[in-house]
Amino acid sequence: MSCVLQPAQVGDEPWDKAEVRSMLQNTASLGIFWLFVGFGRGKLAFYKNLNASTSATFTNVAFYDASKNPGSAPGERFYTGLVDAFATWMRS
């Protein structure tokens, strides 16, 4: 099976959280790994807590907090943060 890393830049909560959860659940068996990258000062708890829920755990989803000022992070740390979760998912 081929695998796809699908990064998504987010700056605030989605307006339809149930639809996002459904989409993530429906793509779990398709070899798609979703990496939500949080930027800025918006509310990001939805993305941060996707795998904290006891009712649904998404093995194909991770969140990377790029901070309120991602340009201030050294490039190596920033890019390592982007790919670490994907690499862990690929090994599982």
Residue type, 78: F
Q: Residue 2: is its pLDDT beyond 70? A: no
Task: Report phi then psi at 5, rounded to 5.
Answer: -95, 120
In degrees, to the nearest 5, what angle opens at C-alpha 87 toward C-alphas 50 and 6? 55
Residue-wise pLDDT for 31-80, tens only, equals 889 999 888 778 889 998 887 765 667 888 998 888 777 677 777 887 88
Query: Where in the chain are the domains?
Result: 4-91
pTM of the model: 0.80
pLDDT of amino acid 78? 79
Q: Residue 6: is its pLDDT beyond 70? A: yes
pLDDT of amino acid 5? 78
Is residue 33 a contact partner of residue 5, using CB atoms and an 8 Å limit? Answer: yes
pLDDT of amino acid 53? 62
Query: What is the C-alpha separation between 13 and 18, in angstroms, rounded?
Result: 12
